[in-house]
Structure 1
Amino acid sequence: MHELGIVFHIIRSVEEVGRQNGVSQVNAVTLELGEVSGVLEDYLQDCWNWAASKSDMLRGAKLQVVVIPAKTLCENCGCVYPTVAHGRTCPACGSGKTHLIQGNETMIRDITVPEEEEPEPPEPPAGTAL
């Protein structure tokens, strides 16, 4: 189960970015997950829920997953087609000279933090012109 390793990497990355930006709490992390990445979302969510509960910064944070569809490019005819539906054989020309151009990635897209309340502007000292 490599999902746990992926979750640990995400958590370390988010905590590091959070510390660099003075963030103490994260509400959600949005992850772009390629359709053919080999990562199982159900396992990923289970691992996230367990590991995030152990982090002060991420406790209670949701993991939102956006699936990126897999696309393949045919080097013979230039056709870009959905990988899952057609595999490695180009549906336009029948060539096997193809390569995956999208759908294998796993990337953090967004980190959502609680909105800070706007501080009230200080009252001007008495007798000060505005």
Structure 2
Amino acid sequence: MHELGIVFHIIDSLEAVGKENRLMKVGSVTLELGEVSGVVDSYLKDCWKWAADKSDLLRGAKLITLEIPAETFCEDCGKTYGTVMHGKTCPYCAGGNTYLVAGNECNIKEIEAC
């Protein structure tokens, strides 16, 4: 379960930002998760509840997740397409000279202080 490691990393980052900005309390954190990031949203939120309650800054803070759709670029025809539906083969030209351009991220998008 790598979600717990991700949560610890996020909490460490938020506590550093909170200290730099003299925040007393965070109400919510919005996280962008790539569709093919391998992070299980429900596991992440369960880990968040457990770990955030151990931090004075984050106790009770809500974790909001937004999905970033996975997109692949085809170098043969120059088009992008949905990765999950089509995989590595371009649906436009059937080319296989492709690479993932979005959807593998895990980023903090917004922190709401209260």
TM-score by length of 1: 0.87
Aligned length: 114
CA distance in 1, matches of 2:53, 2:95: 48
Q: Which residue of structure 2 lines up, in the alignment, with residue 14 of structure 1? A: 14
Q: Which residue of structure 2 lines up, in the alignment, with residue 125 of structure 1? A: none
5+ long unaligned stretches in structure 1: 115-130
Q: Which residue of structure 2 lines up, in the alignment, with residue 120 of structure 1? A: none
Per the TM alignment, residue 79 of structure 1 is displaced from its structure 2 partner at its CA by 1.1
Per the TM alignment, residue 31 of structure 1 is displaced from its structure 2 partner at its CA by 0.3
CA distance in 1, matches of 2:71, 2:15: 32
Q: Which residue of structure 2 lines up, in the alignment, with residue 128 of structure 1? A: none
AA of the residue aligned to 2:106: T
Per the TM alignment, residue 97 of structure 1 is displaced from its structure 2 partner at its CA by 0.8
Q: Which whole-Å deviations, capped at 9, do the CAs of 1:26-51 have from their partners, x for residues lacking one?
A: 00000010000000001000000000
5+ long unaligned stretches in structure 2: none
Aligned to 1:84, the other structure's residue is in SS state helix
Runs of 4+ in 1 over 2 A off after TM superposition: none
Aligned to 1:4, the other structure's residue is in SS state helix
CA distance in 1, matches of 2:60, 2:46: 13
Aligned to 1:27, the other structure's residue is in SS state strand
Aligned CA-pair RMSD: 0.4
1:30-41 map, 5 Å: 30-41=30-41
Per the TM alignment, residue 108 of structure 1 is displaced from its structure 2 partner at its CA by 0.4
User: Is 1:90 aligned with 2:79?
Assistant: no
CA distance in 1, matches of 2:29, 2:14: 8
Bigger strand fraction: 2
CA distance in 1, matches of 2:58, 2:42: 19
Q: Which residue of structure 2 lines up, in the alignment, with residue 52 of structure 1? A: 52
Q: Which residue of structure 1 lines up, in the alignment, with residue 110 of structure 2? A: 110
CA distance in 2, matches of 1:78, 1:40: 31
TM-score by length of 2: 0.99
Larger radius of gyration between Structure 1 and Structure 2: 1
Aligned to 1:10, the other structure's residue is in SS state helix
Per the TM alignment, residue 70 of structure 1 is displaced from its structure 2 partner at its CA by 0.4
AA of the residue aligned to 2:62: K
